[in-house]
């Protein structure tokens, strides 16, 4: 979405350079060809920078026909994406819920690492939440009851 100079606390690779999307396009094109799939689904497309880079590269590589679907919960980001991706309006659509069945090459740049998660571990008898604790001059994992 935003660059640090615009108030963001992080920036994605696709916001820094179009090389990220162009580099990612080749293995995605290969995955599409090998799977026989004609759809890419991106989770949390932010500003749409990666989508624009991929669609540009797919056009240059002759990948098609292709649908590009974006799962985006934010109405504000959907609008930004629509503006940025207007050139591909006939090939891009937006979802605000997951479809029951997905037949697509799925991407999610900087999405999964932003999700809150809990680490759990099985100790042979029960599942326990595993956390990080300060120990001496460093950190260690510790299971919690």
Q: What is the mean pLDDT of residues 17-33?
A: 94
**42 and 97 assigned to the same domain:** yes
- Which of 41-45, 115-119, 141-145 has the highest average model confidence (pLDDT)? 41-45
**123 and 106 assigned to the same domain:** no
- CA dist 70 and 51 (Å) reads 9
Are 7 and 15 in contact by the 8 Å Cβ rule? The answer is no
What was the pLDDT predicted at 140? 93
Are 49 and 21 in contact by the 8 Å Cβ rule? The answer is yes
Looking at the 3D structure of the chain, how many domains does it have? 2
Closest CA to 97 of 119, 124, 137, 70: 70
**21 and 82 assigned to the same domain:** yes
**105 and 52 assigned to the same domain:** yes
Q: Which residue has the higher pLDDT, 39 or 96?
A: 39
- CA dist 78 and 80 (Å) reads 5
Q: pTM of the predicted model, to two decimals?
A: 0.74
**36 and 95 assigned to the same domain:** yes
**38 and 55 assigned to the same domain:** yes
**27 and 87 assigned to the same domain:** yes
**60 and 129 assigned to the same domain:** no
76: pLDDT strictly greater than 80: yes
Give the count of alpha carbons within 13 A of 4, CB side only: 6
Q: Which domain holds residue 130?
A: 117-145
CATH number assigned to the domain comprising residue 16: 3.40.50.150
């Amino acid at each position: 979405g935003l660059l640090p100079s615009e108030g963001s606390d992080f920036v994605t690779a696709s916001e820094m350079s179009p090389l990220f999307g162009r580099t990612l396009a080749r293995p995605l094109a290969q995955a599409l060809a090998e799977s026989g799939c004609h759809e890419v689904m991106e989770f949390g497309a932010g500003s749409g920078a990666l989508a624009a880079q991929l669609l540009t590269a797919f056009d240059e590589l002759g990948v098609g026909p292709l649908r590009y679907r974006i799962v985006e919960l934010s109405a504000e980001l959907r609008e930004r994406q629509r503006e940025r991706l207007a050139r591909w309006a006939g090939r891009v659509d937006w979802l605000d819920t997951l479809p029951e069945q997905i037949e697509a090459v799925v991407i999610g740049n900087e999405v999964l690492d932003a999700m809150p998660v809990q680490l759990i571990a099985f100790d042979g008898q029960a599942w326990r939440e595993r956390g990080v604790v300060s120990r001496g001059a460093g950190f260690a994992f510790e299971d919690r009851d």
